[in-house]
Amino acid sequence: MRGGKIIDFHTHAFSDDLAPKAMKALTEQHPEIPYFLDGTVSSLLKSMDAAGIEKSVICSIATKPKQFQPILDWSLQIQSDRIVPFASVHPADPERDEHIKQVKQAGFKGLKMHPYYQEFYLDDDSMFGYYEQVCKYDLILVMHTGFDIAFERVRRADPARIVNVMKRLPELKLITTHLGAWQQWDEVGSQIVGKNIYMEISFALDYLPPDKAKQLFEKHPADFLLFGTDSPWRDQQESLNLLRKLNLDSARMEKILYSNAQRLLDVV
């Protein structure tokens, strides 16, 4: 067995020719946001080897409808035992339903959405047609939730909106990111924690005091927590270290690090 059983449910990478441009553009726009890898799949694999991570989900984001096909094609090229790409269909894509169907037919497990880059509000009426297609094809939807470090603090994806979506469409396999909602953890504590809503944990443990983080982790159903890092914007090994420092019980840790993701992705 290679490096223990760990799945990182939230990473990013770009094609080898795009990676330098993409990383440069993001860094120029936001010099305050650090990064730890060069944005390629090969650097992600090296980081996974070093940290003992078996599989990573790569969450691509189509910032324009026309990016659907290049993301899908690239995702087909890079998928492997260790790399689980999620495709991306822009909510304003005129061929939205057909493209969501193609994602399923190509064998992908899910989609990533980002309410800031794709300019929508999580519980807007117009979004439910999209979510219903995701359910129809039994796909997983990884959703950026909470504020975003790179954007003005508009409440596009806050805990109240997450709850609205899940009330209206409880069968949606929605994965909230950043421990429910980035930089909105008081609201996460009062509105999300304790409910059967998946929370991936990236970009949270480096902001929250450990005792507060531990409380949120322990009050949430253990089957609904997922390890994620948001690599290359966080270091995978360091993210693991922060999680391990919480000293959660080993059964809960195993679910967070591996078996919840394994069940969702239906992998061995």
Binding site for Zn ion (CB under 5 A): 230
Q: How far is Cα of residue 255 from the mean position of the Cα atoms in its chain?
A: 17
Question: Nearest approach, Cβ of 247 to Zn ion (angstroms)?
Answer: 27
Q: Which residue is nearest to Zn ion (CB)?
A: 230
Q: How far is Cα of residue 131 from the mean position of the Cα atoms in its chain?
A: 16
Question: Nearest approach, Cβ of 233 to Zn ion (angstroms)?
Answer: 7
Three-state DSSP state, 53: coil
Distance of alpha carbon 147 from alpha carbon 158, whole angstroms = 8
Cβ(226)–Cβ(34) below 8 Å:
no
Residue with smaller CB distance to Zn ion, 248 or 256: 256
Give the C-alpha distances (Å, rounded to integers) separating 116 from 136, 145, 158, 202.
25, 9, 12, 17
Distance of alpha carbon 22 from alpha carbon 33, whole angstroms = 14
Distance of alpha carbon 161 from alpha carbon 156, whole angstroms = 8
Residue with smaller CB distance to Zn ion, 140 or 248: 140
Residue with smaller CB distance to Zn ion, 60 or 260: 60
Question: Nearest approach, Cβ of 47 to Zn ion (angstroms)?
Answer: 15
Question: Nearest approach, Cβ of 101 to Zn ion (angstroms)?
Answer: 25
Question: Nearest approach, Cβ of 228 to Zn ion (angstroms)?
Answer: 8
Cβ(242)–Cβ(235) below 8 Å:
no
Question: Nearest approach, Cβ of 177 to Zn ion (angstroms)?
Answer: 7
Question: Nearest approach, Cβ of 249 to Zn ion (angstroms)?
Answer: 28
Q: What is the DSSP letter of 3?
A: S
Residue with smaller CB distance to Zn ion, 158 or 230: 230
Residue with smaller CB distance to Zn ion, 178 or 255: 178
**Burial annotation 225-247 (CB, 10 A radius, 16+ → b, else e):** bbbbbbbbbbbbbebbebbeebe
Residue with smaller CB distance to Zn ion, 8 or 230: 230
Residue with smaller CB distance to Zn ion, 205 or 248: 205
Three-state DSSP state, 176: strand
